[in-house]
Amino acid sequence: MALFLTLSSPEPLPPIVGDGVILRLPQMTDYPAWSELREVSRKFLTPWEPIWPADDLTRGAFRQRIRRYSEDMRTDQAYPFFVFRKDDNVLVGGVTLANVRRGVAQSGSLGYWCGLPHIRRGHMSAAVRALAPAAFEMLRLHRLEAACIPTNLASMRLLEKTGFRREGYARGYLCINGIWQDHLLYARLQDDPAP
């Protein structure tokens, strides 16, 4: 049953090129740009993310993050990408395909963040538009899921603009900024028309 194959020891994913952006796997050499962008964006990102550990922006914590990313990809659980502007290779944010489920599900959960200096410029929309076909074709997923806090209007617009459809409401779905928060649930299927 080829439809339900899993990826056993997947090859490293090549960079994914989108409209004005390039998505590639994080590397240790990205640490300075990543830590600077996350620090500058801390207040902006805090309401939408889990609480950051005290050492989150240290080189050692980033090294651990890279190791975890490698293990997650090796075991086909998650695929993280940093998003760079194509014209000057500046880091603008990240997208991750996590909680990959194989077998009869063939699905994964989409998460993303954009650094404050780069918001409202279309980078995340371009990144999600580029990642979806790669998830369906290279990773052979059937369904991409995403969730957002109901007050995060920018995230709702991004998902709807990139072909995700709202499917429901989950009470106390994720612990964000130290509080169990309700979330709107979205999904995009492999057979859905591209936006």
| Chain centroid to CA 160 | 16
The torsion region of residue 20 among left (phi > 0), alpha (psi -120 to 50) and beta comes to left
| CATH number, residue 121 | 3.40.630.30
Is residue 20 packed enough to be buried (19+ CB in 10 Å), middle (13-18) or exposed (0-12)?
Answer: middle
Domain range enclosing 73: 7-142
pLDDT band at 11 (very low <50, low <70, confident <90, very high): low
Residue 79 within a domain = yes
Residue range 12-37, pLDDT digits in tens? 689 999 999 999 999 999 999 999 99
Residue 69 within a domain = yes
Q: How many domains does the chain have?
A: 1
Check residue 56 and give its pLDDT: 95
Check residue 5 and give its pLDDT: 41
Residue 157 within a domain = no
Check residue 13 and give its pLDDT: 81
Residue range 62-118, pLDDT digits in tens? 999 999 999 999 999 999 999 999 999 999 999 999 999 999 999 999 999 999 999
The overall average pLDDT reported for the chain is 93
